[in-house]
Amino acid sequence: MDCSEIERLLPVYADGEFDGSECAATELHLLECRSCRQKVDEQIAFRNFIRSHAGAVTPAPESLRLRVKRSIAQQRAIDNLRRFAAYSAVAAGLAVVATAGYVAKDGRPPPKPLELVVDAVDKHARALPLEVTPAAGDVESWFRGKVNFNVRAPVFDVPGAPRLQGARLANVGDREAAYFVYGEESSPRRMTLLLFPGDDLDIPEGDQRILLANERGYNVALWRKQGIVYSLVSDLDERDIRQLVSKVANR
């Protein structure tokens, strides 16, 4: 999706009328485009204002609702054809993004949010081996002297949340990173989390403002707190990820 397409479909997106795939495609664009994110926020704020000040609302006639739904369906069909025509070019672009971080030279521009999403999912799918576990000692102390920032192991203060299984060193482009793995020994499900410095990145500050994307079947949450970027990858649904992030606390 480009900015003109997003702007045309903003009312539909703000009203939550998109299906899962369309919503994911829109949010991938919003990860990179601050201008479109601002327009979405304005649309949602306007709708919330109207709803909070509106009195009793008379439901629209069923015939009108059906016409609107048909119009939306027709527009979606047109948009899907456009996406299909551009699919090969988009896929090639993502392949370049996925490999660029490993050959980048010093002095390159800061990575974009979409690059961070692709990189985090790639590491998650590869199931990188752990270098330290809680049983082997203090995980936070293990990172001292190995990375150029203070590492605090996140604790997800939610009943039933996965536990820290271990950690290792990693890189995000040319940035040193701490890589954590969460899960349960009795379950194959895993959750991975990358921490790395990111004062210069276009990521919202604060764990209540997160960017969400879907890549290769995984949900990815990005947020920044006190200059450190958090990149969480899981197969949890969006609601559960938001709950985890909202409760995250550093020891």
Domain end residue (candidates: 103, 136, 157): 103
Going by the DSSP 8-state scheme, the letter that residue 205 receives in this structure is: B
- Nearest-CA neighbor of 14 among 4, 25, 6, 5? 6
SS (H, E, C) 46-94: HHHHHHHHCCCCCCCCHHHHHHHHHHHHHHHHHHHHHHHHHHHHHHHHH
User: Average pLDDT for consecutive 10-residue bins of the chain (251 residues)?
Assistant: 74 67 72 82 76 62 72 56 44 41 54 88 92 86 93 81 91 93 78 93 75 88 90 88 72 45
Residues 173 and 240 in one domain: yes
Residues 232 and 178 in one domain: yes
Residue keyed to tokens 């304005």: 42
Domain end residue (candidates: 103, 129, 159): 103
Domain end residue (candidates: 103, 138, 166): 103
Q: Is residue 88 part of a domain?
A: yes
Residues 147 and 236 in one domain: yes
Residues 133 and 240 in one domain: yes
Q: Where are the beta strands (DSSP E) in the chain?
A: 154-156, 163-172, 175-183, 190-197, 211-215, 218-225, 228-234, 248-250
Number of compact structural domains in the chain: 2
Residues 178 and 92 in one domain: no
Residues 77 and 134 in one domain: no
Residues 134 and 238 in one domain: yes
User: Which helix (H) or strand (E) segment is 13 a member of?
Assistant: helix 3-14
The CATH code of the domain that includes 195 is: 3.30.200.100
Residues 202 and 150 in one domain: yes
Query: Hey, what are 101's tokens?
Result: 């971080």
Q: Is residue 108 part of a domain?
A: no
Residues 128 and 235 in one domain: yes
Q: Please tell me the predicted confidence (pLDDT) of residue 209.
A: 74
Q: Is residue 218 part of a domain?
A: yes
pLDDT tens per residue, range 16-41: 666 655 667 777 777 778 888 888 88
Range of the domain at 196: 113-250
Q: Is residue 142 part of a domain?
A: yes
Residues 134 and 156 in one domain: yes
Q: Please tell me the predicted confidence (pLDDT) of residue 79.
A: 54
Global confidence as pTM: 0.58
